[in-house]
């Protein structure tokens, strides 16, 4: 794992499986129905057990659906993480549909949800960079910008990007380094 200090906080970038995370909260790249699915969403539901889907259903009964860029929190049930923060990234079309702003808001709202619930450590996947088709380099730059900003404001003590594939890890690590160098 690579770890960078940002004021009083830490930003980690690591290769791994989010369902094995030892963080207090993990972020799920969900769909607006919070209905479970493939990718990291499927893996999280599989590991958390059926109570997670039930908790998601109750939220959807209240709010209808979760708009892209927003976030909600549930318990982690059978996961070692205490909490799951569910967000919905943008579906990437051509980059001219506000995708970048929506992705930034998704990362930011997850960090704010963590802060508002007293969560000190939170692990993220590469939101939108799978089924939703966000170009990897651009998605990584957005993640780096949003996490560095939130950590500078000490919304959480530590955030980590947990990337499932070597190529994703390499691209996200470079994006974080670029962001930190740009900020010097
Ligand atoms: N740990 C960490 N990252 C993972 C894991 C894992 N266990 N499994 C996959 N990834 P995706 P999206 C990576 O498609 O693009 C779902 O069906 C994966 O390699 O999971 O936001 C939802 O229900 C990729 O880099 O999320 C939605 O319908 C990253 O997680 C839709 O997909 C995100 O890929 C959301 O699409």
pLDDT one-digit tens code per residue, 76-105? 999 999 999 999 999 999 999 999 999 999
State the residue for tokens 């380094």.
177
Query: In DSSP terms, which residues pair with 11 in a beta bridge?
Result: 4, 159
How does DSSP classify residue 32? T
> Which residue's alpha carbon is nearest to atom 9 within ligand 1?
40
pLDDT digits (tens, 9 = 90+) for 34-83: 999 999 999 999 999 999 999 999 999 999 999 999 999 999 999 999 99
72: β partners: 86
> Mind telling me the catalytic residues?
41
Any idea what the Cα angle at residue 71 is, between residues 176 and 67, rounded to 5°? 110
125 lines ligand 1 (CB under 6 A): yes
Phi and psi torsions of 167, nearest 5° = -65, -40
75 CB within 6 A, ligand 1: no
Nearest to 8 by CA among 178, 143, 174, 155: 155
Would the CB of 159 count as within 6 Å of ligand 1?
A: no
Q: How far is the CA of 151 from the centre of ligand 1 (A)?
A: 23
The DSSP-derived string for 60-99 is HHHHSS--TT-EEEEE-TTSSSSEEEEE-PPPPSSS-SSH
List the domains of the chain with CATH numbers.
2-182 (3.40.220.10)
Q: What are phi and psi of 155, to 5 degrees?
A: -65, -35
- The residue assigned the tokens 């900003």 is 149
Question: What tens digit of pLDDT does each residue of 111-127 get?
Answer: 999 999 999 999 999 99
- Atom 12 of ligand 1, residue of closest alpha carbon: 128
Ligand 1, pocket-test mutation among 130, 138, 140, 164, most atoms within 8 A of CB = 130
C-alpha to C-alpha distance for 144 and 147, rounded to whole angstroms: 5
Q: What is the pTM of this model?
A: 0.98
Confirm or reject: Cβ of 31 under 6 Å from ligand 1. Answer: yes
Q: What's the gap in Å between 134 CA and the centre of ligand 1?
A: 11
CA of residue 141 to ligand 1 center, whole Å? 17
Ligand 1 site, residue 132, Cβ cutoff 6 A: yes
């Amino acid at each position: 794992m690579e770890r960078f200090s940002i004021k009083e906080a830490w930003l980690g970038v690591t290769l791994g499986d989010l369902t094995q995370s030892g963080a207090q909260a993990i972020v799920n790249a969900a769909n607006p129905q919070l209905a479970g699915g493939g990718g990291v969403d499927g893996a999280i539901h599989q590991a958390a057990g059926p109570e997670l889907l039930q908790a998601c259903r109750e939220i959807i009964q209240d709010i209808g659906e979760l708009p892209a860029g927003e976030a909600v929190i549930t318990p982690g049930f059978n996961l070692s993480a205490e909490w799951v923060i569910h967000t919905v990234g943008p579906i990437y079309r051509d980059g001219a549909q506000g995708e970048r702003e929506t992705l930034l808001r998704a990362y930011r709202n997850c960090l704010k949800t963590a802060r508002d619930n007293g969560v000190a450590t939170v692990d993220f996947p590469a939101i939108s960079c799978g089924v939703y088709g966000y170009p990897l380099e651009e998605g990584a730059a957005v993640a780096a910008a949003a996490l560095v900003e939130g950590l500078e404001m000490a919304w959480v003590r530590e955030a980590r990007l947990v990337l499932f594939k070597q190529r994703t890890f390499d691209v996200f690590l470079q994006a974080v380094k670029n962001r930190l160098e740009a900020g010097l």
